[in-house]
Structure 1
Amino acid sequence: MLNQRWTRLSLQIVELYQELDRDVAAFAVQSGMRCPSGCGACCRSPHVETTVAEMLPLALLLFENGEVESMLERLEHGPVTCTQYEAVPGHPDQGRCLNYAQRPVLCRLFGFMGSRDKAGQSRYGACKVLQTIAADRIEAVDADVKTGAMDIPLLIPAHERIAEIGGPLGTDTLPINQALLRAIEIVGLSQQLEDLGAEESREAL
């Protein structure tokens, strides 16, 4: 049985993910913003970072499905960019996330999130793709966000929630592949210690 501590923490993170998904969906409806079908432009960036805590749901899933060894192989020999992104052959900007339901906060909010300016007002931060294909809408959306007429998910509060849930594991960010590797190592070590404790208990009987 996987370590209950990490399972409980993972469930809290998943609950936050579900809340963020609802916020993003509501913003998408209000703003009319949509990612192009199959777009993977943001997934190909070598600069995607996340916390170890955010990768725990995926790490636990890999252990449950017996896919840890294959993932470790991908992490060791795969690309610098996110190993969860599978591009369409011949079309690197088109593809899919292999574990979409377990993607971290930045991946969930990218293109649909806001930040606060120096005056404390929320501002919309569209991705480069949306800046190109929806340029005529962005100014109006930003104006509505700025005045409070339209709610938008904010990245910093989401990260603060992750820090509250994950403690030290939810504070520092790493490149996404390194964060996943660390999450796998933590869950794996906990499992080994649990197995060792169970074996010692049986021997003591």
Structure 2
Amino acid sequence: MIKETARFSGTVLYDVLKTIEQLYSDIETDQKVWKEKAPVGCPDGCGKCCMHFEPEIYEAEALYLAAWMLENQKERADHIAELGEAAFTHRDICSRNDEGGSDECYEDGCVLFDPKTPYHCTVYGGRCLICRLFGFSGDHGKDGYIRWKPCRHMQPLNSVADAAAELSGMQAVQAGHQYGQDEMMCLFGAVPPFMGAASSRLLALNPDDTHPQPLRTALPAAIRKLKMLLHFLTPPEPDCPSPHPLSA
């Protein structure tokens, strides 16, 4: 549990934060089985899913991320709360060029992405729902069965591929191909978590919250909301008299 959530105990927001935390934990558990079976994974230090893409998130996601930042990156959270969207201006994102040419830099993309760090996401522990689901979850096709399409940047995992080399069709696994449920069960013996189930659990927290906002807009508002609540929940400092009172 995020330590910061304990300070909201007894409030509605505490229940929201705990529910989001359980949702994220369940996703991780379900994905663990899939990742052990699936023969592809993200390349080390890739981060291309964060480039040219800024998540639009619901308030519950923003509140969880805000609580995580207040616990783990308080100075940064305070800065974002104070400046709002202005805290994310004048930034460049550079993609690694694997062909030997110069890196490409651009201004759009996730505002919490850092190209200078090995894994790029600067708030990994508090990251939003889509960041947890992308690449390792599926959706339902018209037939009602789950399907999965790997990210085009995914690469074969040699340890998995070698162990399953004798499985028929394993060599045909490739990024960009959409796999149906029967095909995945035949090749991998498992299917990924259903993206829609996770989204439904998130939306059930606040059915009135039907309009997600860009991360740069939702996060500052969420941090301010939690800071204001903490202001009212934190007991005031005791008004202790001086141990050395002045003489009358």
TM-score, normalising length: structure 1: 0.77
Distance 1:142 1:60, change over 3 A: same
Residue deviations 1:149-176, cap 9 Å, x none? 522112221110011234434x432222
- Contact 2:137–2:193 (Cα < 8 Å) also in 1: yes
Q: Which residue of 1 aligns with 2:126?
A: 102
CA displacement at 1:101 relative to structure 2: 1.3
Distance 1:141 1:33, change over 3 A: farther
Within the candidate set 47, 56, 81, 2:63 is matched to: 56
Q: Which residue of 2 aligns with 1:152?
A: 192
| Structure whose CA Rg is larger | 2
Amino acid at match of 1:82: C
Q: What secondary structure sits across from 1:123 in the alignment?
A: strand
| Residue 69 (1) aligns with residue 78 (2) | yes
TM-score, normalising length: structure 2: 0.65
Q: Which residue of 2 aligns with 1:191?
A: 230
Q: Which residue of 2 aligns with 1:137?
A: 173
Distance 1:36 1:151, change over 3 A: same
For 1:158 and 1:102, how far apart are their aligned partners in 2? 16
CA displacement at 1:125 relative to structure 2: 2.5
Amino acid at match of 1:191: L
Distance 1:146 1:122, change over 3 A: farther
Q: Identity of paired residues, percent?
A: 23
Aligned Cα root-mean-square deviation (Å): 3.0
Amino acid at match of 1:102: G
For 1:85 and 1:111, how far apart are their aligned partners in 2? 18
Residue deviations 1:6-56, cap 9 Å, x none? 233112111110110111221111112211111110112334222120121
- Contact 1:114–1:154 (Cα < 8 Å) also in 2: yes
Distance 1:116 1:144, change over 3 A: closer
